[in-house]
Amino acid sequence: MYCKREIGLICQALIALVACGIYTGAFGAIWYVEKDGSGDFTVIQEAVDAAAAGDTIMIGPGRYDDWVDVHAPAWTYPAVVWVTKDNLVFIGAGKESTHLGPEEYFCPPASMPMVFCCIDNYRFTIRDLTVENCYNGIYAYGRLEVMDCSVRNCEFGIGGFTENGMSIDSTTFGSEIFLSFGIVTYSPANNPVITNCEFVGNGKGASFTGTNGVQVQDCIFTGERSAVMFYGSAGSVRNCYANQSDGTCFIARDGSEIEILDCEFYGHVKSLSVNSGSAVRAENSIFRGGPQHSTILLTAAAQVFINGCHILNGGGLSVKHEFYWAQYGSFVQDMTGNFWGTSDTEQIDAWIWDQNDDPSIFSVVNYLPLEDGPVPTEEKSFGSTKAMFR
């Protein structure tokens, strides 16, 4: 149950949301959901059914795993919360205290259970709670805002067709599920903004398909799989740290256009993979390779402009080209002004696989002039990067 002090803090939080542009609706009614019966309801869906557009639903401590069937035109799946009103705000008592979802992972055959589900073009806000243990953590159309939450052990932590934008801030993502995803967007999603988030565990980080206006900033990715993936999408990644122990940090495919600034990527397999006609510009960043493949892989008409960066060999190749056929034309990859870990051009040549090594590859790296020492790129350790989020 919320005390007077907590209610005051909640009001302050709502005012802050308005000031930051995260919550723009008029203040509506406030409904209280408490497991001990001291609020207006004990089940979140009952509060949603009673609420009007623009209302706020305060969710007290405890676990909320009551199910309601969501009826979409093509499917019916269970959810803990079916968002059926516009501009609702859901606020928990803290992500350590308020848990939405079953105690253990739940995904029966032929079903895709969800914690939050919105199948209409509504805007809704979630903050200060944990979403966990379902196939989909948060499934959204319209516009979604998430702040100060934990999303854990879901096949898809947040999945969005959010045509009107998505804002995810100061939220942690973690999963024990193989090949799970923290955040996924699909067309017609636009303008997702992911800031101050941390992605850990066995799954993948953030994946964007057919999405424009992507902004990923001040985030940490540590795990076994890929950190950030763009498929036919456009946007920027800034001031992020990624360390993938069994995968590729950054993937750009299918005609994506990406800007990378002030990042550090270490991929045990690959640090950066660019292919299928995608273009990547990078500055003031560090790309560290692993022993298994190459630091940077370029395939199928990919184009890169990487300048003022560190391209550091990890035991494999530093740059490898694959599948540049004559019909694409000839490509010159601009990798000038970088530090390669050495000033020995014979060594750098040996670390690059391009048309000079295989005449059937119609792409070549231009790396001269190079920097004979580290460029002014601030290298971040994992510990120092985490300190930025405290």
pLDDT at 389 over 80: no
Reference 17, options 82, 115, 90; nearest CA is: 90
As a dihedral over the C-alpha atoms of residue 236, residue 238, residue 241, residue 247, rounded to 10 degrees, the angle is 10
CA distance 211 to 196: 20
pLDDT bracket for residue 13 (50, 70, 90)? low
Better-scored residue on pLDDT, 361 or 223: 361
Q: What is the 3-state secondary structure (H, E, C) of 10-67?
A: HHHHHHHHHHCCCCCCCCCCEEEECCCCCCCECCHHHHHHHCCCCCEEEECCEEECCC
Name the pTM for this structure.
0.90
Backbone φ, ψ for residue 20 (5° rounding)? -85, -5
- Which of 19-28, 134-143, 166-175, 266-275 has the weakest average pLDDT? 19-28
Backbone φ, ψ for residue 271 (5° rounding)? -85, -40
pLDDT bracket for residue 25 (50, 70, 90)? very low
pLDDT bracket for residue 385 (50, 70, 90)? very low
Alpha helices in the chain (DSSP H): 4-19, 44-50, 345-351, 382-387
CA distances from 356 to 141, 142, 223, 339 (A): 49, 50, 35, 21
Highest mean pLDDT among 2-11, 24-33, 105-114 belongs to: 105-114
pLDDT bracket for residue 292 (50, 70, 90)? confident
Backbone φ, ψ for residue 385 (5° rounding)? -70, -45
CA distances from 304 to 281, 307, 341, 360 (A): 6, 10, 20, 20
Query: pLDDT tens across 195-230, in order?
Result: 999 999 878 899 999 999 999 999 999 987 899 999
pLDDT bracket for residue 14 (50, 70, 90)? low
Q: Which helix (H) or strand (E) holds 166?
A: strand 166-169
SS3 102: coil
Q: What is the pLDDT of residue 381?
A: 47
Average pLDDT taken over every residue of the chain: 91
pLDDT bracket for residue 379 (50, 70, 90)? low
CA distance 113 to 215: 29
Q: What is the pLDDT of residue 247?
A: 84
pLDDT at 21 over 50: no
SS3 8: helix
- Which of 27-31, 43-47, 201-205 has the weakest average pLDDT? 201-205
